Chains A and B, each alone.
Chain A
Amino acid sequence: MSSMMASTFLRSIQNHPLMLYPAALFIRKKVVLYCTMKSTESQTATQEKQNPRIKVPPRTQTITTTNNVSKDYEAVIGIETHVQLNTLTKAFCSCPYNYGSPPNTSVCPICMGLPGALPVLNSKVIEYAVKVGLALNCKLSLNSKFDRKQYFYPDLPKGYQISQFDVPIATGGYLDLDLPMEFGGGHWKFGITRVHMEEDAGKLLHSESGSYSQVDLNRAGVPLLEIVSEPDMRTGIEAAEYAAELQRLVRYLGVSNGNMQEGSLRCDVNVSIRPIGQSQFGTKVEIKNLNSFSSVSRAIDFEISRQVQLHSQEKGDQIIQETRLWEEGAQKTVTMRKKEGLADYRYFPEPDLPGVILTKEYVDAIRDSLPEAPEMKRRRYEKMGLSMQDVLFLANDINVAQFFDATIAKGADVKLATNWIMGDIAAYMKNEKLTINEIKLVPRELAELIASIKGGTISGKIGKEILFELLAKGGTVKGLIKEKDLVQIVDPVEIEKMVEKVLAENPQQLEQYRGGKTKLQGYFAGQVMKVSKGKANPGLLNKILLEKLNAKS
């Protein structure tokens, strides 16, 4: 649904690039509602809100062009992503972090920044950073360090954030992604400028009256990776897909739950526009408060149109370097703060922590233990002969991919396994609102089911019945076949008996058939299948039935 809002929004901008006034918004909202009723399909990057785990590929939508708001301008987009690492304890103390705990219940002198407390680095943070750096094809700094970034804010208990400044742990990589077909498809590489480690800040809770604010330090000191992209993206969709691929990557690596609603993955985007052909960048605007991939996409596209509008009205100088906030309700960006010169964070090396030294052996050991990245998985699936739509569906969610891989590993036919997973299994999960890890069917039994149908033990129809049994209740294919006596009847003599019984019971229809109404073959076939309780081998049944029908009596 949210994806529909996105695409509708895009279209409306394409149709009316300069209509960004409240009236236009109102109209757009109506269109959204209409579209929502028409379709419930989601797009890969934009269904975060619906179901964070299962990606259902779009089928009905086709957006052939992205948001080329104007032929004369191009947008330049870079993204800073903060990924919260799911280490057992915080970055510099032994407090656990659980999203949603009551305020200030997961704090200690260290993460509260009490006088005399000192940080000690959790080595898992380094391990996870190295994993992400390697998976993003970056160059690792074998000698990096932590620095202090200094500013005052009530959610920052020490008055500085422990971060990395001039020597980040990883630099100069890229992220591969395959754009879904409906967004034009194609393989893309977006540059990664740097990856660095830092600590999260706490949260401010504002009173309803607005007369006071409270500080919750549960989140203070939780490890983050800041991943900065090159300004390689040109559209909201590309940016959203980049973010979605990063989410996929950190989930594949197991370093973060990547959940945007909980703030485990946060994107700040920088948007500027320039006349096509100009190499110099325009004035960039930062957008914050993007809580879903669809808001990433919509906010960027809104911002691009806003800037293009200003430019084309000769008001380009009104585009100033500032931070704007995406307002989900109003579907627009508004000024949050204007940058007064360059912020001076007075970085200097963190004296409480020794330098971060990585040995080649350490890096090699992590490299060897890396799981298959989404990009590698997609290329492998592609080589198996699957279509890009199938590939993206299977590889989007690591749990689905693992289910698929395990099914294949049990010898299942690739195409058949894909069809089952993308078809009936996906439909079941969607209806029941379950993830693939929550269904009762296990890969081994799916492989067994596929083999049983292929080998003729059961018919496809019975296979489907068994599947729903397995999905809902579990059990084994063999067990269910035995329990329900579902083995396909392949004995010609037995089938012949059934055919003869049906013919004998339907003399009138037999007469009509033999009188030339050969359409009735289907009727007889159905009757025989009914007698066999669906177990007769269809090929055999038809062959024997035809012989009997056409036999001279």
Chain B
Amino acid sequence: MLSTLQSPRSLSRFPSRYTLCTLTAQSPTSTSPPPPPPHSQILSIRHSLLSRRLSAAQLAESYLTRLRLTEPHLKSFLHVSEDAVLQQAHRLDQMIASSEELGPLAGVLVAVKDNICTADMPSTGGSRVLEGYLPPFDATAVRKIKDLGGIVVGKTNLDEFGMGSTTEASAFQVTANPWDISRVPGGSSGGSAAAVSARQCVVSLGSDTGGSVRLPASFCGVVGLKPTYGRVSRYGLMAYASSLDVIGCFGSSVADTGILLHAISGHDRLDATSSNREVPDFASRFDSVDLLESKPLKGLRVGLIRETLDDGVDNGVISVIRGAASHLEELGCSVTEISLPSFSLGLPAYYILASSESSSNLSRYDGVRYGNQVAADELNSLYGDSRAKGFGPEVKRRILTGTYALSAGYYDAYYKRAQQVRTMIRKSFKAALDENDILISPAAPSAAYKIGEKKDDPLAMYAGDIMTVNVNLAGLPALVLPCGFVEGGAAGLPVGLQMIGAGFDEENLLKVGHIFEQTLENCRFVPPLIEHDDTP
């Protein structure tokens, strides 16, 4: 089936057994030839449709078939609209038949994180409190995807309202990691990452408040992009921490991720924090690898953040990241280690600010207007009981933390101080990005861990966000892409490299990421769950 998306020749070359192919241990033991770098599925689909090699219905059916096969193991989706997908594909085929113009996302199956509103599908945010809730409008990002011909395949699982790093905090189900189904996919956008990783869809939308796109991208071995704050409208994204939330993109290649970002970017009059800046055509930067010079990134200044390779970071991860740094050097970059002294302050500042904002943003789930209402004799018990029943433990923990931090007498010590730290972090990133074109770090201190491993230790889980939260506090864009593997599971576990760019410089990040990805050797991008899946 992947033959519809990638060249049949490359598929046949997939190693049939697990091989360790990290960059640090570049000694593939397999006798199979190395796998090729990922191609843009979006461009292949477009090509297939325009050349009439495949119909939209055939394409959609092939994804849906894989979805049906893998979903019982993965549980990435909270809702799938098979009939609607096929209907839209048929409509598309009619358009093709009558030679109507196709949008750039025509026939592309997009999965949407369930905290992003869709008018034709339930949107629960992974919470009991919104079970069965059907919003009356599409989020701006979803509307843009639909306007460009994209087909929303369903809603993906997440930690309740985006609060979590494993997707275990969903009120409905636990999603598994396609690389090892005994492990977490990361979170909170675990469903969206797993769905792309297992090719249940082409691309997907997630949201990133403290790393919720980048962490699962790293754990699931896919490309994840957290745009600059303000690049993509938040309208229709259920607010967790408004000053940090962004809608982000997942793809199986940098090119697909960039094409999706381009589709959803731009000013929105419905979001006062969305930027008026022009959106460059990111896609034009995805040159074929054959056209690249020998040192295509010559002169690019890369800063490796020293604090991200400190104690507490998995040794395997550190060596993969150092390997990635060497690869960048081979491409012509000058890589220097830099220090961000305020880096370690990011985690506490983040958890104070995000919890504070969430305690406010989640006040609307009071059982009065929508969602679940518990019968009560008087108003306070209606609120108390509806919220006690509706929210899970992680959400309650953050509401309590945030309420405490904002209370009279504590505001200055917590919220205000955290804001000061945020300003400091912003400044130190600004300084580092004046000296460097991009900064790099791991996306997470470890690869995917076992389901249940950190469930009862929230602080250990919070610590896993150390690599990503600073970027949200600074409002910067960051791209995470697979760069190697560490041992674990049956086939090794992917490790993501985080590239942080200057504000609104996604274009550069995507360009560098694309070249990095296309020149990376000996790295597999398709999880074992589906690697034998070549049914047409």
Contacts and interface: CB of A to CB of B under 8 A. Distances in A.
B407 A344 contact: yes
Contacts of B365: 115
B406 A346 contact: yes
Interface in B353-404: 356-357, 359-360, 362-366, 368-370, 379, 383, 403
Interface string A89-121: 000000000000000000001001111111111
Interface stretch (A154-162, A259-267, A474-482): A154-162
B515 interface: no
Contacts of A346: 359-360, 403, 406-408, 411
Interface stretch (A38-46, A187-195, A227-235, A347-355): A347-355
B130 interface: yes
B17 interface: no
Contact of B135 (A116, A347, A348): A116
A148 B406 CA distance: 11
B441 to A, nearest CB: 26
B214 interface: no
**Interface size class, chain A:** 20 to 34
A37 interface: no
Given A158-B363, A352-B242, A116 B116 contact: yes
Given A116-B238, A348-B356, A351-B357, A121 B137 contact: no
B270 interface: yes
A542 B481 CA distance: 110
A353 B135 contact: no
B369 A159 contact: no
A215 B369 contact: yes
Interface string A481-521: 00000000000000000000000000000000000000000
B135 A354 contact: no
A150 interface: yes
Contacts of B116: 116
A34 interface: no
A8 B379 CA distance: 42
Interface stretch (B145-153, B229-237, B483-491): B229-237
A342 interface: yes
A344 B408 CA distance: 6
A24 to B, nearest CB: 36
Interface in B219-250: 234-239, 241-243
A121 B273 CA distance: 11
B125 interface: yes
Nearest to B245: A351
Contact of A348 (B136, B366, B369, B411): B411
Given A351-B242, A354-B273, A150 B363 contact: yes
A115 B125 contact: yes
Interface in A58-92: none
B479 to A, nearest CB: 25
A540 B233 CA distance: 85
A150 B360 contact: yes
A109 B136 contact: yes
A112 B369 CA distance: 9
Interface string A115-139: 1111111000000000000000000
B261 to A, nearest CB: 20
A107 to B, nearest CB: 10
B415 interface: yes
Nearest to A115: B238
Given A159-B364, A344-B407, A118 B137 contact: no
Nearest to A213: B379
B272 A120 contact: yes
Nearest to B241: A351
- Give the one of A118, A215, A354 with max B CB within 10 A: A118
B269 interface: yes
Interface in B154-168: none
Contacts of A117: 137, 235-236
B271 interface: yes
Interface string B403-421: 1001110010001000000
Contacts of A116: 116-117, 123, 135, 137, 139, 235-239
Given A116-B236, A118-B235, A118-B239, 8 more contacts: A115-B117, A115-B238, A121-B272, A157-B368, A158-B364, A346-B407, A348-B357, A352-B272
Interface of A: 109, 112-121, 148, 150, 152, 154, 157-160, 215, 342, 344, 346-348, 351-354
List the 9 closest A-B pairs by CB distance, nearest first: A159-B363, A351-B243, A351-B242, A346-B406, A116-B236, A115-B238, A116-B117, A120-B272, A344-B408
Interface of B: 116-117, 123, 125, 130, 133, 135-137, 139, 234-239, 241-243, 269-273, 356-357, 359-360, 362-366, 368-370, 379, 383, 403, 406-408, 411, 415
9 contacts: A116-B117, A150-B360, A160-B360, A215-B368, A351-B242, A352-B242, A352-B273, A353-B273, A354-B273
